[in-house]
Structure formats: structure tokens, C-alpha cells
Structure 1
Amino acid sequence: MPKILVIDRCFLSRTGLAHLVSGSALNVEIVQTDDLLRAREYMKEKPDVVIADFYGFLHDLHHIDQLSSIFAASSSKTRFILLPAVKSVLLENYCATQNVWFNADKSCSLAVLNEALQNALTLSHAKTDSRHIASLLTLREEQILQLWKKGDSNESIAEHMQITVKTVYTYKRNIRMKLGADNRFTLFRRGTELAEI
């Protein structure tokens, strides 16, 4: 049975979305939460679809990258449907670097939302995800991988990306983990897979 996680601060939105999903012809398990810590725990169950309004949580976050734990905990088949109540440039820029299936605001029609949900569930169960290896990485990770492949030093990458050297190390570790490389040498031995990145 497909699992759907609804993350939203607004009680009415959460229950309305849960009602929309349960009222459709879909036979699904729905979990809803208004807490990001609980959402991270629910992500361990690898839901098929996550419907979220992260805007309500922005004032609680020390940094927008705290949302990355939710995206990182998802499986390759998880589809994110984002429905922010209010537009936020910070949130839009961050979400553009993540693997988002459908992005609209809460004023989108129920028919459009229901169609996006149906498509997400159909595709998440249709087959195993056969995405190109690069699509496992965020945009920033892809940029860092390109610089890394060119042979740029950590300091050079940090300067180019306007981040700290420690952050470069973190990105490199995440890249190795996502691509299943035990160490940096393994990563580049698999050059045929990474050549088109």
C-alpha cells in the first residue's frame, strides 16, 4: 500500500489534504505531522509521496539547509509535492536544488493537485527508478563534482562556490555516499558512469 506523508503547520491544510487523498479512489496510508523532527522520523519509513508546505517552518530553522535531512532521507522513488502557502525566494531557491516532483502554491486547483498526486503514485510504483547517476545529486553537489573531477583543490572549490573548505569536505562525503563510493579513488574508477555528468 502506498504511503503518503503530509507535512504542514496548518491543521486545516493537513486535514484537508489527507481528506482529499483518502476521498479519492486511491488506497493509501496517510501520515500527517506539523513537526519537522517527527517528519524526519517518518521519512525513515520511505513514503512514496511527501506533500509539504515548508514555509510555515522557515522561522524555526536556523538555516534553510536543515530541510536537507528530510530530502536526504527519502528514497529514489519518493515524490515531493510542495505547496507553500506564501512564496519565499529563499525557499524556492533551496527547493530548486532538490528533487521536487511538483511545485505549486496552495491556491492551485484540487483537480491539478489530484492529477499530480495520481501521477506521482503511478510512477513511484511503476518501476524501479532508473535515473542517470547524476540526478541523485543536488545541483551544488553536481557543481562540486565537476570541479573535483577537473582536479581543483578543496580551497579552490571553496572559493569558487563561496563556501568554507569544511563544507567542501562535507559535500564530497555526501557525493561519495550517494554514489556508493567507499573512497575518492573508487569514485573516479567508475569513470564510465560519471563521464556524462
Structure 2
Amino acid sequence: MFKILLIDRCNFTRSGMETWLNQTPLFSTSFLITALHNLMLAKEHIVQWQPDLVIADLHGFKNEIHHIQQLASFFSVCRESTQVMLLESGEDAQLSQFYAQFSINATLQKTESLDVLAQAIDAMILARPHLALPRIVTPLLTRQEEKVLTLWMEGTNNQTIARKLCINSKTVYTYKRNIRMKLGMGNRFTPFLSLPERAN
């Protein structure tokens, strides 16, 4: 069984790809798939889960990062044995030039046909050895911490996060502290989390 990690901001792409990969007769093996919409969680997931194939639309995150070099940390956690496919939602000369320094097995646009996508995935699958059993990984963050992190990255303030999750605003502070500790962040101004808060 092959482990695939899908990273995409678009919920429709994540759910559509997951359904397609699990139901199509084009592949000779079954997949264990995880889909994420958060680059930081994806990075931690790659480290712990060690997927065979990562399919990512990094172009979709372009407006969320402060500097293009922040994407280097994403590529740094991909092992040599991890296949990386970029399935991009757009074209950007600066990103393309940046990608050239990393080991990327395939770069496709989302406008490609499913046949072309299936062929690329199949070629990557054949390049990897089979794993008899998937390893079970304990998530780094709890579900509630993931919810807090998602709202936090959207720039939502503590009071609004507390209201949306039906918790105390002091509890939100505690969740944020725990998230920083678990993800090895020094302070709240760490890249990706230094977004301005907005009131809802």
C-alpha cells in the first residue's frame, strides 16, 4: 500500500483527488491518502508519516507566505525516497525558478487531463517499493489544536477563535502556546503565524 499526501488549499481538489485515487481502476495498488490544506501541518506530517508520494499545489499558498524561501523548509523534509509532484493551480516564473533547485519528480498544471495525471502518478508508484503495512502515526497536534491553528493562520483574533470553538479566550492562548512548542516555534512572530489579526 502506498501513502499519498495531498496538499492543496482547495477543498474540492482535495476531496476530488482523494475520491479519484481511491476509485479509479487505473492503478495496480491501493492508496492510503491524507489530504491537508495547511503547509505547516503538511511539513510535520511528512516528517512523521513519511509518505511515498506528495502531491502539492504550492502556487495556491503563494499569497500566504512572506518570502519564497519559506517553501525551502517544505522541500527540506522530503526524503530522497519521497516522490514529489507539483500539481499547480497557476504558473509563476519566480516559483518555477525557485523549484529548479529541488528534487521534483513531476510538475503538472491542474488543467492537465486525468489520463496524463494517472500516468505520472503510476510512474512514480512504480519507482517506489511496496510497503506491506502502513505505519500508524500519532498526530502531532490534537484536532482542537488544528482548528485553532487554522483560524490563527487566517488572522482570526483570540476572542473570535474562542467564540467559534466555544472555549475560553485564555484556553485559546494555551492552545497557541502548545502549538508553538510542538512545532518548535520560538515566538508568535514565527513565519506563517505572523499574520495580522482580523476581527470577525
TM-score scaled by length of structure 2: 0.60
Q: Does 1:37 align with 2:43?
A: no
1:20 aligns with 2:24: no
Comparing both chains, which one has the higher relative contact order based on Cα–Cα distances under 8 Å and sequence gaps of 6 or more? 2
Write out aligned runs for 1:127-138 (5 A). none
Q: Which residue is equivalent to 1:2?
A: 2
Is 2:98 aligned against 1:89? no
- Using the alignment, how far apart are the partners of 1:17 and 1:63 within structure 2? 29
Q: Find the aligned partners of 2:17 and 2:69 in 1 and give their Cα distance.
A: 26
**1: CA distance, partners of 2:18 / 2:94:** 27
> Paired residues, what number?
126
Q: What is the alpha-carbon distance in structure 1 between the residues aligned to residue 2 and residue 69 of structure 2?
A: 28
Q: Residue deviations 1:85-137, cap 9 Å, x none?
A: 111112111112111111110000101101111110110227xxxxxxxxxxx
Match of 1:110 among 102, 109, 114: 114
Percent of aligned positions that are identical: 32
The structure whose residues are more often helix, as a share, is 1
The CA deviation string for residues 136-189 of structure 1, in whole angstroms up to 9 with x for no partner, is xxxxxxxxxxxxxxxxxxxxxxxxxxxxxxxxxxxxxxxxxxxxxxxxxxxxxx
Partner secondary structure for residue 76 of structure 1: coil
8 Å Cα contact 1:5-1:51 kept in structure 2: yes
CA RMSD, aligned part only? Answer: 1.2
Q: Distance in 1 between matches of 2:6 and 2:30?
A: 16
Question: Is residue 46–residue 73 contact of structure 1 (8 Å, CA) maintained in 2?
Answer: no
State the 1:78 CA deviation.
0.8
Does 2:73 match 1:55?
A: no
Q: 2:104 aligns with which of 83, 89, 100?
A: 100
The answer for the alignment partner of 2:196 in structure 1 is: none
Point out where structure 2 has 5 or more consecutive residues left out of the alignment: 131-200
Separation of aligned partners in 2, 1:68 and 1:38 = 15
Secondary structure of the residue aligned to 2:50 is coil
Kindly provide the amino acid, as one letter, of the partner of residue 107 in structure 2.
Answer: N
| 3-state SS in 2 of match to 1:124 | coil
The residue that corresponds to 2:79 in the other structure is 75
Deviations 1:16-45 (A, max 9, x none): 111121113431110000001110111112
TM-score by length of 1: 0.61
> Unaligned 5+ residue runs, structure 1?
127-197
Q: Distance in 2 between matches of 1:122 and 1:94?
A: 27
Quick one: which of 41, 66, 69 aligns to 2:70?
66
Give the whole-Å Cα distance in 1 for the aligned partners of 2:94 and 2:14.
Answer: 23
TM-fit CA distance, 1:51: 0.5
Runs of 4+ in 1 over 6 A off after TM superposition: none
